[in-house]
């Protein structure tokens, strides 16, 4: 009979897969400090995030910085936990994006945040408002 052609693989190839070094390039070597919010963010985006972004994905830095916000402000204690889901980060609780999927505002005032807002939020170039 006809031979079965190999199914195309949608697994990212090894050279495309995100590495800790990709995250270090953005956040610096704090990503290697055990249990720091930076280390937790790196672990999440490299090992747990089902979206498997690449370093070159247009929303990589944005997703990374929002994950850092979560880990820096006690995200496990937030009232509304729809954050770090496998959805696009524009769908996460409190996040508003423009039609190009770029974050414009973050509304978290009622969400039981603790700790401090990371300065890396300045990397979100179109962010106009955080409350």
| pLDDT (0 to 100) of residue 74 | 96
| pLDDT (0 to 100) of residue 61 | 97
Whether the predicted model's global pTM rises above the 0.85 cut: yes
Q: How confident is the model at residue 55 (pLDDT cuts 50, 70, 90)?
A: very high
Above 60 in pLDDT, residue 75?
yes
* DSSP symbols for 44-103: IIIII-TT---TTSTTHHHHHHHHHHHHHTTGGG-S----S-SS-GGGSTTEEE-TTS-E
Above 80 in pLDDT, residue 72?
yes
| pLDDT (0 to 100) of residue 9 | 52
| pLDDT (0 to 100) of residue 30 | 95
Average pLDDT, the chain: 91
Q: Residues 38-43: what's their mean pLDDT?
A: 98
Interatomic CA distance for residues 83 and 78, integer angstroms: 10
Contact 108, 74 (CB under 8 A): no
Above 60 in pLDDT, residue 7?
no
Above 90 in pLDDT, residue 82?
yes
Which of the residue ranges 33-42, 61-70, 105-114 would you say has the lowest mean pLDDT?
105-114
Domain ranges of the chain: 20-130
| pLDDT (0 to 100) of residue 14 | 60
């Amino acid at each position: 009979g006809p031979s079965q052609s190999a199914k195309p693989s949608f697994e990212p190839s090894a050279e495309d897969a995100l590495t800790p070094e990709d995250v270090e390039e953005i956040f610096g070597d704090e990503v290697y400090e055990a249990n720091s919010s930076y280390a937790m963010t790196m672990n999440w985006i490299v090992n747990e995030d089902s979206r498997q972004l690449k370093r070159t994905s247009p929303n990589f830095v944005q997703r990374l910085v929002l994950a850092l916000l979560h880990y820096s402000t006690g995200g496990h204690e937030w009232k509304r936990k729809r954050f770090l889901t496998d959805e696009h980060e524009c769908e996460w609780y409190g996040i508003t994006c423009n039609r190009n999927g770029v974050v414009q505002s973050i509304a978290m005032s009622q969400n039981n945040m603790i700790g401090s807002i990371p300065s890396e939020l300045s990397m979100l170039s179109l962010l106009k408002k955080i409350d």
